[in-house]
Structure 1
């Protein structure tokens, strides 16, 4: 699914993360970029088979730029040392829960859900979990889901979120600032003959989680009362 040229370029970029090297190797970058975009089309197709609600998307709508915004960062290296894309209804800038492919030598992953959503979306997700906690927990506690996604992005509040009762028995579920399951993949799992099947299994397992989250995001607030 992911070709060797992508890993080769990213490995060399990590060792030479500077503008002069990048400009001298622009043809190398363009080759790796085109290869990754072709892989992203495969990824989009796999996601669409499992979750048609994403609509018709192109790699251009989903792939993130490799250029870093260094204006407010202490790290002034100009380029990301990974390639990634987010597939959701509306593309990479969508606030809907979606499916993320991250390619980085030695640190690849397939993930999804809703990462650092804006406050209104975060409230909607928490409201859905509050009102349908048993349904949400059934998804999280499903044996296959726990195997594929052994961890969630762990940025959490210390206190109960505003607007929700502190004595809610599942209040810990509402403290997350992101609702993003993660699956670490080896480089070989994304490049071997079984790469597409590997990704397909992850996406199929993730779809019920995303469906639940997106139901909350798209539900009008006055339809469900805390």
Structure 2
């Protein structure tokens, strides 16, 4: 486990600061992006993006990152783009949708030296239509997928993941559906938890009312959810520790 303290003990370090990070106008601004999704409009309205989205997001990362230290004292909370924040511009190189701007804001806190989207993480994104809170990896890279499958060949690891999933389901969390219909070569369908081989990702999530992003209780709301998600976060971290870093890439150690 990441820290040997019990969850109840960790929660004692939560400060519970009451603060409104995002104003309702932030959601309205994201609505306006959908209606005016072009670089010229954004250039004229960049100051509003910085005022309503970027600066509040940075403050949220700093403030809530402090709260998350109660759950993981080594978590990364970096208040800049390509840290805990994502670029507002979309990568359209391989997309049929060539609109340049995102109308959904993502924020991530993660543990470990791997790329942030291939690490144990607490994640959220919000838009006028959706507020999603999650932990896990939303899409395994090729190397991480291989590492995941090898890791759950050990029935102890698979049982642990299965128990975490069942507990989170009982608390109202959801999981993505398995992507694959056939079992990968070298992995037996007769294994006790063989259904886990069929996943291309592993994360649990919960959807909230988008207006909650503007709540003064946002710290409390998210801390309670991430406390429930901590076992998933820790399991993913243990998985990542069993995949050897080779340069900037991850590759499975077969030794």
Aligned-residue Cα RMSD (Å) equals 2.1
Listed as ranges, the matches of 1:66-215 within 5 Å are: 66-89=88-111, 93-94=115-116, 95-131=118-154, 132-142=157-167, 145-215=168-238
Please give the TM-score of this superposition, normalised by the length of structure 1: 0.88
Equivalences, count: 220
User: For residues 232 and 148 of structure 2, what CA distance do their matches in structure 1 show?
Assistant: 11
Question: What is the CA–CA distance in structure 1 between the aligned matches of 2:240 and 2:112, rounded to whole Å?
Answer: 14
Shift in CA distance, 72/155, structure 1 to aligned 2, threshold 3 Å: farther
Structure 2 residue aligned with 1:7: 27
Equivalent residue in structure 2 for 1:43, among 64, 67, 70: 64
- 1:147 to partner: Cα distance: 4.5
Query: Do the aligned partners of residues 83 and 148 (structure 1) sit closer, same or farther apart at CA in structure 2, a change above 3 Å counting?
Result: farther
Structure 1 residue 189 displacement after superposition: 2.4
Q: Is the 8 A contact 2:111 2:237 kept in 1?
A: no
Alpha carbons 1:148, 1:183 under 8 Å: kept? no
Q: TM-score, normalised by structure 2?
A: 0.78
> Does the residue aligned with 1:79 lie in a helix, a strand or coil?
coil
What is the CA-CA distance between 1:151 and the residue it aligns to?
A: 1.5
Change over 3 Å in CA distance of 1:69–1:84 after alignment to 2: same
**CA–CA distance in structure 1, aligned partners of residues 114 and 48 of structure 2:** 25
> Which of residues 27, 31, 41 in structure 1 aligns to 2:51?
31
State the 1:179 CA deviation. 0.4
CA offset digits 1:29-78 (Å, max 9, x no partner):
111211122122233223322122325x3221110101011122111111
Structure with greater proportional helix content: 1
Please, which runs of 5 or more residues in structure 2 have no aligned partner?
Answer: 1-19, 244-252
Counterpart contact for 1:2–1:39, Cα < 8 Å: yes
1-side partners of 2:93 and 2:238: how far apart? 36
